[in-house]
Structure 1
């Protein structure tokens, strides 16, 4: 049963002793603090979005189109009154939340993904591990609880299969294929700094440790700076794949028995093709606005995707979650669970493990409190009847 909201009592009781939180209590506050304290290149990489960043703004703005309609006299308080747990793709989660796959976490903290693995295991929520990690699949997987592996499908099927097989062997519970990044979007914040971390050998741990990738190199990358530069150039020729088609989802189905989720879907026809090809879930996402400026907000795409494939596959949501109420709205519109990104990454950069834990606990406590105050004891209480939509 839920106890996430107990974080609120911890804070108030500590306040009696004159101890107040050292980190901001909101996602916006974490971003503002990170802008002040993180290295410019690190902040730009996490915060930046495509072009004029209209899609990123639209992701947040879309939630303003809905209002919750709390129910009263439902008996939702007291120990064990609420159960926020859910099973998604065979994975049991204490709350319907997974950390979104953010790459190059070594820019923010030397332990990168392994910190996130430890915290998500402690809290009982899911972790989606990025291909572009600063820690290897094996390093992060050994510390995580229930985790999924996110595949950036390279321009080499043998390498793609190697990544999938490594993830399965390391204990991943599902494979998440990101299809909206055949190449990097136009990201002015990174461009203004002339900074792409991969060209500095960052975020390449899974490539540099992979036998298929290493077989393509004339010399081990750790041998010399020249060998590392050659490895980076090899990576540059392999990252991304404009040639992906639904048949590749079917090919992945042949490679693994793990559940498959396809991330980066905002068009109903794409969702239908993915499920027809063998996907068990689709994740409605526009990559946090990092790929196509002016694209539809992820939340605006969610109801249509649910109506199109929700009877055949799980539908998850990503891009724009910032509060507990946001989670309730997304689930009321048909999502089974949500992926949560940037705020915990800011926490990682600001305070390492404590920062990730703080960012995730604030979201979960907010969600727990909002559920109870809205008369909801389980996730089954969330439906279209819980929300009202209007024009803004």
Structure 2
């Protein structure tokens, strides 16, 4: 069976109830399914938010029944008061749904270093908790309520089968637009599946998918304090893990990651960087992320300038050992690749029309950069966007 795309977002898992409600810049999303198996991956930033402390503790037994997510305030660098406020939202959720406090995970996104405005957030949370349901509109409201500087909601859901014919689903939503890199970013991701898997297997599968997806996105190079991705299983479908589940989870995570890159703060263009011919996967990751992180490459993309010198320069400082005289670089789209450098030879000297073709492609909304160092068989893909004046405006005025 070919993987099937579904259009009900996170509510494609029929037993999962969600809600989302927003007043001004403050929103609250609820995800609810009692006694779910759940695992998480979090920011590696040494400074991390209060909700991460709470959620890690509540997930120690691998079980969760609800997630409460607020936007508008990161609840980070808020010390004991931040823990207290996060637990207060969790307790409100627990009391409303009739579940233990320890069965509630918490996530936050927004401005760092300010205490939570509980007089505003609690009524918003109460309203959200009163609107739980399982429909396309519920999924849309939930995906919208967690947004900050994002301009669009981000959702993906698929149906697939295990090799033994068992049908299962994976669905998710996320938010993220700025402070994206080097590992995840100011992003929150919530993914559900109905396939029953152990906590250990879910964690392994999530780690593998994040390595290919959220950890390969760069918008601005700043790593957030709040990054959280939670994967929960409703445990309704019995089956043994196989590569088809990983394929479905990878698809959902990569789709969400690409949606983040396309919606980068102030972004006008999406950039995909494919690095191949590497001796190791780590080398491929270093090269692809070095290119997609380069401010000079990103501004060249904004200006539709096929300045491949910036690309090879970013490769050179990636930390990977390779022969610069044996490199291939192309600039393209989904339909064609324009070779700029082939095995160390610059093609545009003798064929200036190739530079014109590359410039035309650089004006498009999606640009694919491919590099090959001809050293081995490993490859990977990173995702990013251009860097525009609008990015500066958004972040210059973020808290004022």
TM-score by length of 2: 0.23
Q: Which has the larger share of helix?
A: 1
Question: Greater strand percent: which structure?
Answer: 2
Structure label with greater radius of gyration: 2
